[in-house]
Amino acid sequence: MELSIFGIESTSTALVAVLTGVALVVLGLSLAALIGPRSFAPQKGEAYECGIPTRGESMVQFKVGYYLFAILFLMFDVETVFLFPWAVVAKGMGADSILAVGVFLFVLILGLAYAWRKGALQWK
């Protein structure tokens, strides 16, 4: 049980924060829709690109580089998730824990070095 302000459980206050966010968007948008002007013109709904009608597909092909970085991110993000619980308790642990985490970090850095060597970090 993690009590926060007023002695309410933190899960409830987190829910309150999320609902407040939703309420801000709902209230703001409905207010804006209520008092904002409305006018209709066929050109208004066009995509804003350069002033003349858009040509071709908008879902264009994009660089595969973004995808590679996303994959790398996945690897390192999972690593972060693994390391956080260790980081909390690391203070009281001895040399064994340093060694174990050292091996883990070494394997990770090896992975980064491999990706680097393979040219995944190169923007071609």
Partner 1 sequence: MFDFSIVTGWLDSLLNSFMPVWLTTVVECVLIGVVLLLAYALLALFYIYFERKLCGAFQCRLGPNRVGPFGLLQSFADMFKILIKELIPINNIDKFLFMLAPYLVIVASFAAFAVLPWGNGLQIIDFNIGIFFLTAVSSIGVLGILLAGWSSNNKFTLIGALRSGAQMVSYELSIGLSIMTIVLLSGTMSVSGLVEGQKDLWFIFQGHIPAIIAFIIYMIAGTAETNRGPFDLPEAESELTAGYHTEYSGLHFGLFYLAEYLNLFIVSGVATLLFFGGWMPLHIPGWEGFNAVMDCIPSVIWFLAKAIFLSSIIIWFKWTFPRLRIDQLLAFEWKYLLPINLFNLVLMLLVVAFGWHF
Distance CA 122, CA 62 (A): 16
Residue 90: in which H helix or E strand, if any?
A: none
Number of residues near partner 1 (by CB under 8 A)? 70
Distance CA 60, CA 52 (A): 18
Interface mask toward partner 1 for 88-117; x: CB under 8 A: xxxxx--x--x--xx--x--xx--x---x-
38 or 52: CB nearest partner 1: 38
Give the sign of the dihedral formed by CA 108, CA 109, CA 110, CA 114.
positive
Least CB distance to partner 1 at residue 18 (A): 5
Q: Which amino acid is at 60?
A: V
Interface mask toward partner 1 for 48-87; x: CB under 8 A: xx----x---xxx-x--xx--xx-xx--xx--x--xx--x
> Could you tell me how many helices (H) and strands (E) the chain has, helices first?
3, 0
Q: Kindly state whether residue 5 participates in binding partner 1, applying the rule CB under 8 A.
A: yes
Q: DSSP letter at 4?
A: -
Residue with tokens 């302000």: 5
Which residues make up the interface to partner 1 (CB under 8 A)?
2-8, 10, 12-14, 16-25, 28-29, 31-33, 35-39, 44-49, 54, 58-60, 62, 65-66, 69-70, 72-73, 76-77, 80, 83-84, 87-92, 95, 98, 101-102, 105, 108-109, 112, 116, 121, 123
